[in-house]
Structure 1
Amino acid sequence: MDVKGLVPGVEPGPGIAGRTLGRIGPLEARLARDDAEIAAAQEVRYSVFYEELGAGSNRLQVLDRRDADRFDAVCDHILVFDQSLPGPEHRRIVGTYRMLREEGAALAGGFYSEDEFDLGGLISRHPGKRFLELGRSCVLPAYRSKRTIETLWQAIWAYVLHHDIDVMAGCASFHGSLPATHAEALSFLARNCRATPEFDVSALPGRYVGMDLMPAEAINAKSAFSRMPPLIKGYLRLGARIGDGCVVDRDFETVDVFVVLPVKEIQQRYISYYTQEPGRLAA
């Protein structure tokens, strides 16, 4: 595999492929460089998605103990390493995030989230804008902390700047396949965090599940926010908005919502924070 870029014919560009994109203390983030690092990231994903959270795996995944699909080969993979751990570097991976640009999606026949949401329709309404799909967010239990998330976001922001991305988008998940279990949080998102018409995305008609499950007077904003997964809360703080409808993913046993984050909507204080040189944040 060409270590210059995981998308055949599409290189990340000089100065990004091998360099550190985020660092806080012993945590360091950069792009995967080779097959061994991608395979190790897939093992981390398997550990979290299948062994911890109970996603349904097929026979090949069980044998390999990896979460892998056809999109991995056309994505860039941001990896977070704990450099204080012993052993080879690819065994120090504690978190990962998958980046799929339009060049890679064209080779894969579309974006991953297009099985659930009309992302293609959104892109077609914005010719000339560069879209980035983020997915497969995964952090080992012992590293689910503010430091790890901030290290990831340092790297994501460096990636977005390097590729001149205009819009970040992708699915974010609630654990469990019953929307009613998340009624307050989903209803809050539907009533208070919907995307503007310019950037709205709907769940596909055959998979659409309404999110507005509770009357407005029954929703407590503080309680609803506390019940959201950290990833969704983090997106909302940055300025992201939520698409129309959710989707039940039976394979991963999740309820998925669609997150849209135009780069121009990111609050300036976050831009200033994540643009700092890696390593300058608190160790």
Structure 2
Amino acid sequence: MINLIKGRYSARQATTDTDIDRVQRLRGLAFDRSGGIDSDRFDALCDHVLIEDRTTNALVCCFRFLQFPDGREIGQSYSSQFYELAQLHEFEGRIVEMGRFCVHPDFSGDPDILRVAWGAMTVYVDANKVELLFGCVSFAGTNPVVYQDAFAALQERHLAPRKWAPMVKATNVIPFEKDVTIKRDAKQANLQMPPMLRTYLLMGGWVSDHAVVDHEMNTLHVFTGVEIATIPDARKRLLRAVAGSR
């Protein structure tokens, strides 16, 4: 079980129906859901993580994990609704899908929340001997033009290895196109990427070669994976330092 404290914040796994209700209400707020609740059929199958402000007990961040013994069952994941993941059926180690990550709007500027989140993920990955962490990382809105530098950077430097590459399944997608005639702005590319994705990439993560347009969530999302064995040693030490801190 996750039980992590770092400064102002603590992370723990949900243990009660009340915890799940709080998670779904925060997601409803963060994702602007009508009725104030965000829930789906995967919630009952997942382990949910809550990050709370220790001084007020306010829920400031949440996300969930869905475990599979290997890649043969990845077709039962949330991400498989949008991506053809047949290539990953051959992945032999334990895999975990991380999803529905959100931060309370009042706390969105605090980088310590993301650090605690990655510390909690590290605890979970180590405890469950996970070998592949994957999920859909979202870009706000559905206009790809505002993310052209970021998408070009992903295409040029961060595509999935051919043997694991997710294929197109959704009907509405934005292919990443590498146009060598256009000069891209590396600084803008970095700024356009969600913080979660930037952290994945620092760990050696890789992405699909296209984004899916999700009008229900009002996002463009990109399949992202990171093989635990390939995370640079220095990055592993940093993550485990956070995971072990009090």
TM-score, normalised with respect to structure 2: 0.91
- Counting only pairs closer than 5 Å after superposition, residues 41-56 of structure 1 correspond to structure 2 as 41-50=23-32
Query: What is residue 129 of structure 1 aligned with on the other side?
Result: 93
* Kept in 1: contact 2:9–2:116 (CA 8 A): yes
Aligned pair 1:40/2:11, yes or no? no
- SS across alignment from 1:149: helix
Q: Give the distance between the partners of 1:116 and 1:137, measured in 2 at CA.
A: 17
Equivalent of residue 192 in structure 1, options 147, 152, 157: 157
RMSD of aligned residue pairs (Cα, Å): 2.3
Equivalent of residue 190 in structure 2, options 225, 229, 252: 225
Q: Give the distance between the partners of 1:221 and 1:37, measured in 2 at CA.
A: 41
**What displacement does 1:76 show?**
0.4
Q: Deviations over 1:53-91 (max 9, x none)?
A: xxxx4xxx51xx210111000000111011100xxx5xx
Q: Deviations over 1:152-201 (max 9, x none)?
A: 11110110011111101110011111222211111111111111113211
Looking at CA atoms only, which structure, 1 or 2, has the larger radius of gyration? 1
Query: What is residue 94 of structure 1 aligned with on the other side?
Result: 60
Equivalent of residue 251 in structure 1, options 216, 221, 240: 216
- SS across alignment from 2:101: strand
Query: What is residue 74 of structure 1 aligned with on the other side?
Result: 45
* Kept in 2: contact 1:167–1:260 (CA 8 A): yes
Q: Deviations over 1:214-244 (max 9, x none)?
A: 5454212222111111111111112111112
* Kept in 2: contact 1:169–1:258 (CA 8 A): yes
Query: What is residue 8 of structure 2 aligned with on the other side?
Result: 26
Among all aligned residue pairs of Structure 1 and Structure 2, give the percentage whose two residues are the same amino acid.
Answer: 27
* Kept in 2: contact 1:74–1:108 (CA 8 A): no
Q: Give the distance between the partners of 1:200 and 1:217, measured in 2 at CA.
A: 26
Structure 1 pair 115/216, CA: closer, same or farther in 2 (3 Å)? farther
Segments of 5+ residues of structure 2 without an aligned counterpart are none
Segments of 5+ residues of structure 1 without an aligned counterpart are 1-15, 51-56
* Kept in 2: contact 1:132–1:168 (CA 8 A): yes
**What displacement does 1:31 show?**
0.6
Aligned pair 1:118/2:84, yes or no? yes
Aligned pair 1:183/2:148, yes or no? yes
Query: What is residue 83 of structure 1 aligned with on the other side?
Result: 54
Q: How many residues align?
A: 244
Structure 1 pair 109/70, CA: closer, same or farther in 2 (3 Å)? farther
Query: What is residue 211 of structure 1 aligned with on the other side?
Result: 176
TM-score, normalised with respect to structure 1: 0.80
Structure 1 pair 268/205, CA: closer, same or farther in 2 (3 Å)? same
Structure 1 pair 216/23, CA: closer, same or farther in 2 (3 Å)? farther
Aligned pair 1:170/2:152, yes or no? no
Larger strand percent: 2
Q: Give the distance between the partners of 2:148 and 2:138, measured in 1 at CA.
A: 14
Aligned pair 1:260/2:225, yes or no? yes
AA aligned to 2:93 is K
AA aligned to 1:270 is R
Structure 1 pair 180/113, CA: closer, same or farther in 2 (3 Å)? same
* Kept in 1: contact 2:138–2:194 (CA 8 A): yes
